[in-house]
Structure 1
Amino acid sequence: MTSSDFRAKVLGYNDVHPFCEVKLSDRESVQDLLKTILDPLQQHFSPQCSRIKVPGATAVRFDNTASEIEGYARPLWGLASMLAGGGTYENTPRWIEGLKAGTNPESEEYWGQSEDSDQRMVEMCCIGWTLAVVPAFWDALDEKEKGNVERYLGGINDKVMPNTNWLWFRVFANLGLLRNGAKHSPEMLVQDIKHLDSFYRGDGWSNDGPEHIHQMDYYSGSFAIQFLQLLYAKLAGEQDPETSAEFKRRGEMFALDFVLYFDEEGRALPFGRSIGYRFGMISFWGAIAYAEIDLPAPLTWGVVKGIVLRNLRWWQTQPDIFGPSGTLNLGYSYPNMYMLENYNSPGSPYWACLAFICLAVPESHPFWASAEEPYPSKQLPVIKSLKHPKHIITYHGGHRMLLSSGQACGYPMKSTHAKYGKFAYSSAYGYSVPPGGYTLEQFALDSTLGLSDDEGEVWKTRRNCEESGIEVHDDLPVLVSVWKPFKDVTIKTWLIPSTEKHPNWHIRVHRIEAGRDVMTADGSFAIYNIAKADGRALRPYKSEIAEGTSPRIVGNYDLDAEGGSNPGAEGAFAVSKGAVGIADLEIADLERPSNRTAMIVNADPNSNIVEKKTIIPTLQHTIKAGSTQWYATGVYAKPSNPGVAPESYLDGWDSKPAVPDWIRALINGQS
């Protein structure tokens, strides 16, 4: 099936999306990949081409017109980049005609002027970028049409905007006009750049908002701030050389941290909101090439090229990111409404086209001229603490793992506790969000500690931390946080990264002061729950097929069922695409041992962002009111990477780590 077939048919039972079939190696092949994303949109243009109604009749917090403007504008990140780099696309005139109609107040397809905090402001960024780098768009306009575009984009300058990365969108609306000698607001351009600089925290990291908000996710890097800083540095280098040089300097520093969010297989670490933008996660790497920054060692252009191409190749192995019409759907590895934000319309996923900024990079640039190089695992730290995002990144055991404390979205978005408050995030296993509001099955408590005061109906987890920071013990960075799931329950948590001796394990320690009776559930990573032989749920573990669970899967509260639980010290594990597990680590001389029970939580379908059906090895326990309880938890993970034999998935399971002596000393002093 060729890309052009999308104009006449939809994907059938055995059809493969052309996106999944492009052999990626060079600039031309990445152009071809982009066209497989643009082509299916052609049948969804409005008559005057100012809107694209991407299939999916879902509602968002803004109006339907703004949603369809997203469908029109967001693909421009890719199209304009390709055109700026000298590429061609036969349907480019549709976007030019759409710009004319959308900005024309006399047209029935007029987009409408922006109001305060209007979604239209976001899409002005894509349009401003396009005008800045593709002269054909501006040159195709007559004087009246140029005036319409000036007034439409200029309408952003007297409106209230969120005090976040959104301010960059106004910068690019004005920059697009400036680059064409059109009327714009130089005062607002200077003001916004100055204000955005107040988000900077150091070492290349910017916060997504003012100081009282601690949110450093992909918006700090590829989705907005770093990405747009670097584009600004390239486009405004002559007008604002000092700021441009500073933005390049920050990009160099940020690169040495951000490279740790990717693994050898090409996967990015899912963390935070808006990860439905998928391969948009790699856009920073194309932006540093476009901005012509000097790469800090050990990064080379061959390494950067490899990060980009391997990530795109990994997404090519995820065919369920497309719907039957060939358009991107809402979700991560498959369509998933549970993980979405209230601003994710059917057109939203096309922010992923940020990834194609690399196509604006000249073919002669070493990004394209260099041979692709593997991920530089041996040249990068295996463990690194990042003080600004309060992350510890490790690369032991076959996956990139992020330990996190202290981050929280500035407002209570859906599943914010899952997107920011979990203890660990993995490039191999993704994270889970609750598809419902009752029982462990629906809460899907992977990589977190949940507490319930109603016998297991509703569970609360870490969302906001009262305190958080990084300590060093035994030459290892350790994340420490204090949080309260209930007003009278205080928990202090220590997150201890994996080590060379125990590469597949990390340790969590909790001190819980309970002012009420609470049930607890401590979960490992979630793992694929489909047997290879027949597609049914996993059965009890069999070493001869390297698959199954221990204990067996039963109802989440039926711990007395025969074979349905193990002692906590024995732990619980599951083996399918690799292995995950959890065990209660012994703490000698503890006045109140936990005696937790190990079992397998059968999470509701579609709770995990990577796998549609998952299970979660979990430790359960009940704490009485007025008591203080210590938990020491070992969490095991070994992914099914290429070259890893299935019979080796559990090789490290019986070699559980010991609780560090400094924790024992802490317990003896505080218990």
Structure 2
Amino acid sequence: MNPWREFDDRELSPYTGWTRDHWAALADHLLLSARRYASPSHARIAFPGPPGGYGADVDALEGFARTFLAAGFRVAGEDGRDPLGLMEWYAEGLAAGTDPHSPDRWVRLEEHGQAKVEAASIAMVLHLTRPWLWDRLGPVVREQVVDYLAPAIGADYPPINWVWFQIVVEQFLASVGGPCSREDIDAGLALSDGFAREDGWYADGAERSYDHYAGWALQFYPLLWTEMAAGDERADSRRPVYLRRLERYLDDALHLVGADGSPLIQGRSLTYRFAVAAQFWVGARAGLGRPSPGLLRRAASGVARHFADHGAPDGDGVLSLGWHGPWRPIAQSYSGPGSPYWASKGLFGLALPAGHPVWTAVEEPLPVESGDFHRVLRAPGWLVGGTRADGVVRVVNHGADHSFPGSHLTDSPLYARLGYSTATAPVLAGEHAARPLDQSVVLLDADGTPSHRTGFQALPARGLPSGTPVGASRWRAHWVTPETDGPDHGHGRSGPVRLGPWIEVVSVVRGPWEARLVRLSPAEGTPWDGPLRVGGWPLPADGPDEAAGRSRLCSRVLGGPGLEASGVVRAEDSSPLAPWTLVPWCATPAAARAGRWYQALVYLGRGEPAGTPALSWDGPASVRLSWPDGVRDVVDLAAGEVSAEPTRRSAPSGGAR
């Protein structure tokens, strides 16, 4: 499937074929399709599907506010040219939605917290389209809009990315002569400064929460706010800092896009799909010297085309709750039929005119298209590798769990798994979503229930002289009886806890392989006699046959001494990528022994591996690894340090390249 094939331009866009015309066609298709679900006043857009966790009124507000983003970007980038009458159409909705006496009035900020989120989108579009919308509104409607937004002042906002919603709303109010609290903005800025981490990254709050919000929210709003507040010393002094962070962060973010355009399938709110592209457009709008405009557009267009080619939007022009097609389990409890339209943030590039360099530069290859790579992302504790042969980007996770060190929650499949990639999805539905299997190291109790790792201690990650990344984490195995009556926001759940031994995992990553080394340490008062199990990559498949992996990919776990038990779990309708998910595993046949290092080789690549890493031990805690590409590494587990032998390279060998 190739929507809008007539616009393809393989000279300007040799990797995706996509141009600004494709993006405009996508936006127009979404906007015109949305009109079918609008109320007569246009204030509410109620997309088909069961109500979300916050109810139909919130769903309809989301439908308006989130499509309003697409409309605003579309008109702003055309300098007001508006053949679809978007501004007039949405102006009618503004008038009815902000009228407290209208039957279509919106949920207000003081009535429901979600309205605070949508208010920021409304304020942002009113800022970007001011000459063509706000300046043409009548005084009564302007007063209604100000009155609708004003409850943001002095209100409580969660100390996460939401602080930017308050800042954006109040900055817009100040720009139109409305009420505003300098104290609110100062407090929000100070809080957001505390989210900054190494290498330009932001955490979404105080927890180890790293996901797509790092780009589509925490990089997006700061620079937009500095435009809104230009001339204010607070904004002008912060803008160079935000730009430096964005530039460094984008260098990492570009390494997290697969050659097929798929973003990393990790973290909550995945149903926002191509909202991921917003971070690349922000870099282009900011005029960064690096990454180049052609590379930024390649990444953004690749993401959008990935979803368009896989049926999102669907045949009716609707973005359903799902990933490619509809798949409700991917959503959180706060998600409703209007929620997926935060994908409109990914259309932010349309706010840039057709003559902007990001539209006129020739596309450049993504990192994974330029060659194999490895890197350590220090902030989230991720070991990242990409392989050109299959275009897959893999992340081995030793730093992110949406929690704090020492907590004992259940493992969220979206955050606490040991691995994520652009070609696989964690098991999100069925029994194994709550009972860690894929990309896990667990102990099994007498009932066969697997342990959890959330709250682990993240140990330093680094790259060897050969470029091979090494990372590790350590945690108390624990079993949780979760309290299930709370809302599902994508992270782990609390409840009564049983504690077990300590588990330490060291990962050494190269190409399609991970050498996973595991050791148990006894904890006082917690004797153990259960097996250890290592789970591999969750392979999307069309059927339960192990050979049915999609995209010719193969997932394998090769257990070393002591991990002789093995098998494959076949889980039906457990991820959004395919009808089946196949998860290989290996385990100890009987109780695991404390103090011993167990080893497993974990593989995800195109076809069966043509070569296998060789692993040997120099004493009890020094590991030698010989990789299929000829590189040799040494890891000293006793000292917590790593070294490397001189690199010896040989010709790449097939799928193990």
TM-score between the two structures when normalised by the length of structure 2? 0.82
Matched, 1:394 2:385: yes
Residues 226, 509 of structure 1: alpha-carbon distance in 2 compared, 3 angstrom cutoff: same
Report the counterpart of residue 608 of structure 2 in structure 1.
650
Report the counterpart of residue 101 of structure 1 in structure 2.
96
Report the counterpart of residue 298 of structure 2 in structure 1.
306
Check whether the contact 1:341–1:414 (CA below 8 A) recurs between aligned residues.
no
Write the deviation string for residues 206-262 of structure 1: whole angstroms up to 9, x where unpaired.
Answer: 21113xx1112111112x010112222333333331112221121112111211111
Report the counterpart of residue 268 of structure 1 in structure 2.
263
Q: Structure 2 residue aligned with 1:164, among 155, 160, 163?
A: 160
Inter-partner Cα distance in structure 2 for 1:497 and 1:97: 56
**Amino-acid identity (%):** 24
Check whether the contact 1:236–1:244 (CA below 8 A) recurs between aligned residues.
no
Letter in structure 1 aligned against 2:375: K
**Partner SS state of residue 418, structure 1:** coil
Write the deviation string for residues 55-89 of structure 1: whole angstroms up to 9, x where unpaired.
Answer: 111431x2431121111111122211111101535
Give 1:173-572 correspondences, 5 Å limit: 173-210=169-206, 213-222=207-216, 224-239=217-232, 240-292=235-287, 294-296=288-290, 299-319=291-311, 321-322=312-313, 325-377=316-368, 382-396=373-387, 398=390, 399-410=392-403, 417-433=412-428, 435-437=429-431, 443=435, 445-456=437-448, 458-471=449-462, 476-486=468-478, 487-498=499-510, 503-513=511-521, 515-530=527-542, 537-538=544-545, 547=547
Check whether the contact 1:507–1:634 (CA below 8 A) recurs between aligned residues.
yes
Check whether the contact 1:444–1:616 (CA below 8 A) recurs between aligned residues.
no
Aligned residue pairs total 584
Inter-partner Cα distance in structure 1 for 2:371 and 2:250: 12
Q: Structure 2 residue aligned with 1:602, among 570, 573, 578?
A: 570
**Partner SS state of residue 650, structure 1:** coil
Structure 2 unmatched ranges of 5 or more: 9-16, 479-498, 624-634, 641-657
Letter in structure 2 aligned against 1:372: E
Inter-partner Cα distance in structure 1 for 2:540 and 2:192: 42
Inter-partner Cα distance in structure 1 for 2:639 and 2:218: 45
Check whether the contact 1:421–1:463 (CA below 8 A) recurs between aligned residues.
yes
Inter-partner Cα distance in structure 1 for 2:419 and 2:536: 9
Report the counterpart of residue 48 of structure 2 in structure 1.
55
Write the deviation string for residues 305-333 of structure 1: whole angstroms up to 9, x where unpaired.
Answer: 111112222112211x4456431111222
Q: Structure 1 residue aligned with 2:586, among 611, 616, 619?
A: 619
Offset, 1:141:
2.1
Check whether the contact 1:237–1:244 (CA below 8 A) recurs between aligned residues.
no
Residues 192, 631 of structure 1: alpha-carbon distance in 2 compared, 3 angstrom cutoff: same
Offset, 1:118:
0.4
Q: Structure 1 residue aligned with 2:605, among 632, 635, 638?
A: 638
**Partner SS state of residue 619, structure 1:** strand
Report the counterpart of residue 77 of structure 2 in structure 1.
85
Inter-partner Cα distance in structure 1 for 2:46 and 2:72: 20
Offset, 1:431:
2.3
**Partner SS state of residue 509, structure 1:** strand
Report the counterpart of residue 648 of structure 2 in structure 1.
none
Write the deviation string for residues 394-441 of structure 1: whole angstroms up to 9, x where unpaired.
Answer: 1136311111113122499998521111111111223222x234xx59
Report the counterpart of residue 580 of structure 1 in structure 2.
555
Residues 233, 134 of structure 1: alpha-carbon distance in 2 compared, 3 angstrom cutoff: same
| Higher mean C-alpha deviation, range 37-46 or range 346-355 | 37-46
Report the counterpart of residue 631 of structure 2 in structure 1.
none
Report the counterpart of residue 137 of structure 1 in structure 2.
133
Check whether the contact 2:280–2:296 (CA below 8 A) recurs between aligned residues.
yes
Inter-partner Cα distance in structure 2 for 1:244 and 1:497: 37
Offset, 1:651:
4.3
Structure 1 unmatched ranges of 5 or more: 1-15, 531-535, 540-546, 549-573, 586-592, 640-648
Check whether the contact 1:527–1:576 (CA below 8 A) recurs between aligned residues.
no
Letter in structure 2 aligned against 1:390: G
Inter-partner Cα distance in structure 1 for 2:265 and 2:308: 17
Offset, 1:377:
4.7
TM-score between the two structures when normalised by the length of structure 1? 0.80
Check whether the contact 1:483–1:490 (CA below 8 A) recurs between aligned residues.
yes
Offset, 1:160:
0.9
Check whether the contact 2:259–2:369 (CA below 8 A) recurs between aligned residues.
no
Check whether the contact 2:563–2:589 (CA below 8 A) recurs between aligned residues.
no
Inter-partner Cα distance in structure 2 for 1:109 and 1:655: 63
Inter-partner Cα distance in structure 2 for 1:510 and 1:19: 50
Report the counterpart of residue 559 of structure 1 in structure 2.
none
